[in-house]
Homo-oligomer: A and B are copies of this chain.
Amino acid sequence: MTTPPSPIHITIIEDNRFIRSGWEVTFAGVPDLHVVGAFESCEEAFATTAIEGSDVVLMDIQLPGMSGVDGLRHIRKLYPRVAVVMCTVYDDDQHVFDAICAGAVGYLLKKATPEEVVKAIRDAIAGGSPMTPTIARKVIASFQPKKHNAIAEELTEREHEVLAKMAEGKSYATIANELFISVDGVRYHIRNIYLKLQVHSRAEAIAEGLKQRIIQPPR
């Protein structure tokens, strides 16, 4: 989305009225921001055309009635072009990743200053993904291998190759062909993988491999 020549239109969904009006006052003092509407619940906002006329929705997670994450899903479905930035006290994995997976383009903790929130909104409109630093670290860390004590034994290069191909859904026969070994050779490696990951099936191995970030989900 290119920077609009007109102000950035914002809808606020926040049940705490001090915070809500605090944001309204802050944005009113910023020339390139324009508050279309401010609501204390998703239901309230959905009963108006505010979101439809907005570039950004700034919303909380814990709201009366429909939760912020459910509201986010609804917004993504109805108005896929609207950028949604969550601003919430929740910094736990569940809330963070639920919101991101549901389509949030940004995630701020409520300790963010008004200036930071303004910057975040501009950032979101400019194609970025504003996050409170510790949230960003949490997101990045989710791609990285878990601490070393969780990996009882490391897979060999070959085992890693085999696991990656298993995770692509390839049969033993196909893996054997691709690696120029026999089907029983593939079995040999798979046994070792299962021993090392302490699992008993292909899907369990894939799950554990993903969990330990030994393999990555397809992109």
- Are A129 and B137 in touch, CB under 8 angstroms? yes
Closest to A136 in B: B129
Query: Which of A132, A141, A143, A144 counts the most B-chain CB atoms under 10 A from its CB?
Result: A143
A153 sits at the interface (CB 8 A):
no
For the complex, give the distance between the alpha carbons of A132 and B168 in Å: 31
Q: Chain B residues near A132 (CB, 8 Å)?
A: 128
Closest to A77 in B: B148
Closest to A122 in B: B133
A100 sits at the interface (CB 8 A):
yes
For the complex, give the distance between the alpha carbons of A169 and B208 in Å: 9
A181 sits at the interface (CB 8 A):
no
Give me 9 A-to-B residue pairs in the complex whose CB atoms sit less than 8 angstroms apart, sorted by A's number: A101-B213, A103-B145, A128-B136, A129-B136, A129-B140, A142-B219, A169-B203, A169-B204, A217-B217
